[in-house]
Chain A
Amino acid sequence: MNRKKIMLIKQPFIVMGALSLVILFFLTACSGQNQNFTDQRITSLNKSLMCPVCPGESIDQSQNDLAAQMRNVVYEKVYEGKSDQDIKDYFISKYGPVVLMEPPKKGIGLLAWVFPIILSVCMGFVIVFALIFLKKSSNKLKQNQNQDLTEKERDILNILKQDNISEEDIFEILKSSKDN
């Protein structure tokens, strides 16, 4: 008897443990791919630079002439052997940090990235506190450890459970009970 109890209590933990192992096994089977094809690099660089005269479009997606010129510059520099950061710095020096499609992770740009994290953490706390706040003692629940239904109440319950509560059904039951 004791062993059964222990098994039951441990069951959730066993399940969780097994689950985590399985997931870990499969995740290690995933290789984090790093396809460093030059083309991929160029495309991703293009997607991370903004066309300065188009509102909010990357030079990859914009049809503008300036965007086409910038794409050529990126192409040349990649084949010259410059690194991603060099190329980005080059454009920043010409147009300012606005040319990057996402804020740089330093200076005030860092705030852009950090704020969502702070917000998320705060939201997590809000959820926890809200739940604690809402969960007052459930005395009300204990009061309603109610008595069982009487037979008549059971009959009513059965009537209510039907899909169509027809008045004929109810009359039938009443008639039969009145005859008793």
Chain B
Amino acid sequence: MIIFISIMLCMFPIVLIVYPLIRNKKNVDVYVGNDFYLQQRWDSLIEGLQNAELEFSIGTIDKDDYEWLQKTYTKEVIELIKELKITNSEEEKIIQKINKTINQIRNEKEKI
């Protein structure tokens, strides 16, 4: 009985460990692109703007500081959008490539 249970207990992790190693999934780096980092930067820039807004309304920062911060953040956001545009157009290209490949495979299948 103990031996049976022990074998079960061994098999359980072994199966989990071996499965990813033997399946046929190619080791492709999932294309994430810059998008994730850009999203983080976007969030933190917006947060920065909000905080500047809040602190100015409470009185923690002066008017000149407030305006300086607003200018800086806005310009950084604009830079960010330009980068996003580049990323998005790259994504567009890749999606087109994938679509092309899928179509090719489909055509080959139909021929068979």
Contacts and interface: CB of A to CB of B under 8 A. Distances in A.
A165 B74 CA distance: 15
Contacts of B46: 160, 165
B38 interface: no
B49 A149 contact: no
B74 A157 contact: yes
Nearest to A165: B46
A156 B78 contact: yes
Contacts of B77: 156, 160
Contacts of A156: 74, 77-78
A31 to B, nearest CB: 40
A146 interface: yes
Interface string B70-109: 1111110110000000000000000000000000000000
Interface in A143-169: 144, 146, 148-149, 153, 156-157, 160-161, 165
A92 B73 CA distance: 68
Contacts of B72: 144, 146
B contact face: mostly helix, strand, loop, or mixed: helix
Interface residues of A, number: 10
Q: How large is the interface on B (under 10, 10 to 19, 20 to 34, 35 or more residues)?
A: 10 to 19
A160 B71 contact: no
B75 A146 contact: yes
A156 B72 CA distance: 13
Interface in A50-77: none
Contact of B49 (A144, A146, A148, A160): A160
Nearest to B74: A157
A148 B71 contact: yes
A169 to B, nearest CB: 14
Nearest to B75: A146
Interface of A: 144, 146, 148-149, 153, 156-157, 160-161, 165
Given A160-B77, A161-B50, 4 more contacts: A156-B74, A160-B49, A161-B49, A165-B46
15 contacts: A146-B68, A146-B75, A148-B71, A149-B74, A153-B74, A153-B75, A156-B74, A156-B77, A157-B70, A160-B73, A160-B74, A160-B77, A161-B49, A161-B50, A165-B46
